[in-house]
Amino acid sequence: MSTEILMPALSPTMTEGNLSKWLIKKGDTVKAGDLIAEIETDKATMEVEAVDEGVVLDLLFKEGEANIPVNKAIAIIGDPNEKVEVKKEVPIEKVIEEKKIEKNIETKIENKKADTIDTPSPKIEEDRNLSSEEISMRQALRDTMAEEMRKDNKVFILGEEVAEYQGAYKVTQGLLEEFGKERVLDTPISEHGFTGLAVGAAFKGLRPILEFMTFNFSMQAIDQIINSAAKTLYMSGGQINCPIVFRGPNGAAAQVAAQHSQDFSSWYSQVPGLKVIAPSTPYNAKGLLRSAILDPNPVIFLENEILYGLKGPVNNDINFSIPIGKANIEKEGKDLTIVTYSIMLQKSKEAALRLKEEYNLDTEIIDLQTLRPLDTETILNSIKKTNRLVTVEESWPFGSVGSEIANIVQRDAFDYLDSPVIKVNSADVPMPYALSLEKLYLPQVDDIINAAKKVSYIK
């Protein structure tokens, strides 16, 4: 009986991999535990071991082949004396298709959304310097850091695995090579200590970019972020500023459960002295990260792991920036307004497409881009036009960014509202592990559609 060796998922967010190298050839006998191939993922190149035993009957991909979906067969092993019947009679694709576990179906759907829904916003289309090639969010962030490091020696980066490992999520890839170990520093797993150190360096005039492997770990260092970085300008009567960027992935990844899936947007947005940014595309990631690095204040830059692979055009001008505190009207509309940010922009755009198709509702989508300072003007102007508001975000509901927006809108545009504001948030529980529960926890397109229907009084 023959067995397929499938492209493995080597990280929670991996959806496809590249076959760097075969370590076996046709006719070899493999035992469980033998190394069979090197696979390059979105994060690293890793060796893959066999879990079944037999003779290699066929290698289905050549070395160097890229973008092979997770769970696609890459090799077949088995007893050479047996005929591989399935191969002749049923296309291999179909066999694999049937074998797919639910997880991968879901992953694929999620990815499809990210790929197909990301039509450039009007603002991007107007940009005459738009690149013809599309780059990933990961690369947009990397390029911007490199550009600013070339311009100013005072800019340096530190964090866990940012140098030799090339970044836990490959966002700092190649920076060590170009800028050396004096400016790209691997730290020990010591957030409280190295955050305080970076804050001290910023007080003294350097411009650190501090990568948290994920923002979940920023809680270890939150005293230094709030009590030291955010407050010292005020406490010193304007003498000592803190030009630092705290960046890294924020919010849910994929099945990493309660301690590794938390959205900190409203936590940090509550703090005077901090600026808070949450990009949603490679285009605005580039423009906003540059503004963050150049800003003389501490900036919390909330990335999203699932968006790291999202591709899109960018503006490659090394001075291109998007101002902090300006929202982007991602899509104009007249019937209701969705205010959102970060990864929820993608889901909001899909919801808007369906709202148009299924209910003939013309949705205006505002991508906040910056959470603090909040662009209240753009929000209020939109409400005055559409008279209906849904906020969509990944954070917990209590005291979320949407809560503050709802407060501002009822205060400053009460007479313009035709219905109560509805917030779409994650469930008010710690993030569960099980895939089914995780999906329930996170805001989904249907939740947004239901909220939009509710503010529009559609049953």
Partner 1 sequence: MKKLQKADYIKMYSFMLKIRRFEERAAQLYGMGKIGGFCHLYIGQEAVVVGILMTIDKNDSVVTTYRDHGHMIARGLDPKRIMAELTGREDGYSAGKGGSMHMFSKENNFYGGHGIVGAQVPIGTGIAFTHKYNGEKNICRTYIGDGAMNNGQVFEAFNLAALWKLPVLYIIENNKYGMGTSVDRAAAGLDLYKRGEAFGIPGEKVDGMNVFSVIEAADKAGKYVREGNGPYIIEVQTYRYRGHSMSDPAKYRTKEELDNYKQTDPIEIVKAEILKKKIATNDEIEKINKDTLEEIKNAAEFATNSPFPKDSELYTDVYL
State the greatest distance between any 2 C-alpha atoms of the chain, in Å, as a whole number. Answer: 83
193 binds partner 1 (CB under 8 A): yes
E-strand spans in 60-115?
68-69, 73-78
Tokens 């967010």 sit at which residue? 13
CA geometry: angle at 303 spanning 117 and 370, to 5°?
85
223 binds partner 1 (CB under 8 A): yes
Q: Which two tokens stand for residue 374?
A: 């909040």
- Of 71 and 195, nearer to partner 1 (C-beta) is 195
203 binds partner 1 (CB under 8 A): yes
346 binds partner 1 (CB under 8 A): no
Q: Which two tokens stand for residue 444?
A: 């989904």
**Contact partners, residue 267, CB within 8 Å, separation at least 6:** none
Q: Which amino acid is at 121?
A: S
Stretch that binds partner 1, among 232-240, 306-314, 408-416, 445-453 (CB under 8 A): 232-240
Determine the Cα–Cα distance for residues 405 and 390; give it in Å rounded to an integer.
10
Minimum gap (Å) between residue 325 Cβ and partner 1: 10
DSSP annotation of 394 reads: S
How many residues lie near partner 1 (CB under 8 A)?
Answer: 40
**Contact partners, residue 220, CB within 8 Å, separation at least 6:** 191, 192, 195
286, 144 Cβ separation under 8 angstroms = yes
- Of 275 and 388, nearer to partner 1 (C-beta) is 275
151, 159 Cβ separation under 8 angstroms = no
Active-site residue, 191 included: yes
207 binds partner 1 (CB under 8 A): no
Rama region for 12: left / alpha / beta (φ>0; ψ in -120 to 50; rest): alpha
267 binds partner 1 (CB under 8 A): no
CA geometry: angle at 167 spanning 313 and 8, to 5°?
85
Smallest CA-to-CA distance from 182 within 204, 167, 163, 169 is with 163
Q: In this chain, which of 44, 84, 197, 257 binds partner 1, going by CB under 8 A?
A: 197
User: Which helix (H) or strand (E) element contains residue 328?
Assistant: strand 328-331
194 binds partner 1 (CB under 8 A): yes
Q: Which of 4, 160, 260, 393 is catalytic?
A: 260
Minimum gap (Å) between residue 324 Cβ and partner 1: 10
Minimum gap (Å) between residue 152 Cβ and partner 1: 13
Q: In this chain, which of 81, 88, 102, 237 binds partner 1, going by CB under 8 A?
A: 237
238 binds partner 1 (CB under 8 A): yes
| Alpha-carbon Rg for the chain in angstroms | 24
291 binds partner 1 (CB under 8 A): no
Q: Which of 147, 160, 191, 330 is catalytic?
A: 191
Give the torsion sign (CA, 50, 54, 60, 65): positive
Q: In this chain, which of 201, 294, 344, 389 binds partner 1, going by CB under 8 A?
A: 201
453, 360 Cβ separation under 8 angstroms = no
Site track for partner 1 across 292-311, x = CB under 8 A? ----xx--------------
Active-site residue, 393 included: no
- Of 185 and 256, nearer to partner 1 (C-beta) is 185
156 binds partner 1 (CB under 8 A): yes
Q: In this chain, which of 144, 187, 250, 304 binds partner 1, going by CB under 8 A?
A: 187
Rama region for 57: left / alpha / beta (φ>0; ψ in -120 to 50; rest): alpha
Stretch that binds partner 1, among 22-30, 59-67, 165-173, 197-205 (CB under 8 A): 197-205
Stretch that binds partner 1, among 70-78, 93-101, 223-231, 328-336 (CB under 8 A): 223-231
Stretch that binds partner 1, among 29-37, 114-122, 167-175, 270-278 (CB under 8 A): 270-278
Give the torsion sign (CA, 62, 63, 68, 74): positive
135 binds partner 1 (CB under 8 A): no
380, 359 Cβ separation under 8 angstroms = no
- Of 116 and 190, nearer to partner 1 (C-beta) is 190
Minimum gap (Å) between residue 228 Cβ and partner 1: 6
224 binds partner 1 (CB under 8 A): yes
Site track for partner 1 across 15-54, x = CB under 8 A? ----------------------------------------
What are the CA-CA distances from residue 103 to residues 68, 108, 366, 368 (Å)?
A: 17, 9, 31, 31
Determine the Cα–Cα distance for residues 53 and 59; give it in Å rounded to an integer.
15
Minimum gap (Å) between residue 205 Cβ and partner 1: 6
Interface residues with partner 1 (CB under 8 A) are 156, 182, 185, 187-188, 190, 192-206, 223-224, 227-228, 232-241, 272-273, 275, 296-297
Q: Which residues are catalytic?
A: 191, 260
